[in-house]
Structure 1
Amino acid sequence: MKTTLEIKRLNAINAFNKADENGKKLLKDLFGSNTFNLNYKDIKSYEDACAFLGKEPVDFEELNDTLENNGFEPLPEHEIAYKKLEIIAKALNFGWCPNWADFDECKYYPWFDIKKETPAGVGGADGGAALGVSVLPSNHVASHSTASCGGALASKNREIAIYFGNQFAEIWKSYLLPLR
């Protein structure tokens, strides 16, 4: 008989979020209260998001080499960026998933301003042409926004959406403005 039980942190957090006060106390007693002291700002990279979710980061360069060596097309830059953003969104939202059947639930996205000049911290485009992505605060919910974004990239609140856009601007840029 196994004497050790392993549980992913995200599963414990999801249980904690659904538990009543007695359940929350029990979970804190079992796992320690620090397990549930979460700050999305601690997630600063794709690798941090993977670690939070208990996943091994994908080495996309190695994956593309394997695909090419076996006669397949490598994943394009925007698909790699999307996969990274999907993992990051899940970590930043602590496992929260938008309920698209609930029209009263707000969902938030980073709102970007694409400019010809390059803002600080965001790289330029090919051919010497400067192209940058800046995050703008937004009070719009997904249904009132004119921007389009994958549903898995929604955030549960405005603050997380703004952080998601600012902290991961380079990945968003690769997703939204792939070099062709």
Structure 2
Amino acid sequence: MENLTVKKADAVKHYSAASDETKEVLRELFGADAFKFDYTSIKTYADACNLLGMPEHLMGCDQRGIMEFQGMASAMYKLLVICKAMNSDTGSYYGEDGWGYYPVFVLYSKEEMAEMGEAKCKERGIHQLLAAASAPNAEHAGVRCASTNNRGANTFADFGFPLCLNSEEKAEYVGKQFFELCCACYGVTPKMD
């Protein structure tokens, strides 16, 4: 009997777009583990597109537009595709508990970063921002961030476009793996090493 071979990436791509009946056949042929969902396998926008079975270049570039806005729109589009791919295991933007989770960024002042020291900032993945979309006072800034006020009595996530994920782990992963893309979406440039 002749054996057929297939690239795993191709099988997973077709599995994602398949009907329930076809998915059952593919699981019988290749085993359920071949299609077990691992959100950490999404490391790039291209990975998300492959998982969803869609081309990478759906959004055209209008040469007449403002380049800064095109970059922000492109970053947002890519992040929305990435979130959709990462939520594809359940097909929902919300977890079993009905909650949605978001990448949240804590903003530190220059003084706080200096107090922590360069080594600790680097260890914790803390980067200096070279621009901010909005900063009406020390407690608020224009990126989805943790905000403390009333002398730290409460903390909440505020400001920014909700890139909703169905688990806390996925939201943390997006914030780390796609940090620069998240910053680009808000028109913010981090000072990277």
- TM bracket (short chain): 0.5 to 0.7
1:90 pairs with 2:96: no
Report the equivalent of 2:15. Answer: 9
CA shift, 1:125, in A, is: 2.5
Letter of the structure 1 residue corresponding to residue 98 of structure 2: E
Q: 2 CA distance for matches of 1:15 and 1:145?
A: 40
In structure 2, which of residues 96, 106, 109 is the aligned counterpart of residue 113 of structure 1? 106
Over alpha carbons, which structure has the higher Rg?
A: 2
Q: 2 CA distance for matches of 1:134 and 1:123?
A: 16
Report the equivalent of 2:130. Answer: 125
Q: 1 CA distance for matches of 2:160 and 2:170?
A: 15
Report the equivalent of 1:157. Answer: 167
Which structure 1 residue ranges, 4+ long, deviate > 4 Å from structure 2? 23-27, 71-75, 116-124, 133-136
Report the equivalent of 1:56. Answer: 55
Instruction: Indicate if the aligned counterparts of 2:45 and 2:82 stay in contact, CA closer than 8 A.
Output: yes
Consecutive unaligned residues in structure 2, runs of 5 or more: 1-10, 114-120, 132-142, 147-154
Q: 1 CA distance for matches of 2:20 and 2:128?
A: 40
> Sequence identity of aligned pairs in percent?
26
- Given the two structures, how large is their TM-score scaled by the length of structure 2? 0.57
Consecutive unaligned residues in structure 1, runs of 5 or more: 1-5, 17-22, 127-132, 137-143
Q: 2 CA distance for matches of 1:171 and 1:157?
A: 20
Q: How many residues align?
A: 144
Over the aligned positions, Cα root-mean-square deviation in angstroms equals 3.9
CA shift, 1:110, in A, is: 1.2
Higher helix share: 1
Q: 1 CA distance for matches of 2:98 and 2:32?
A: 28
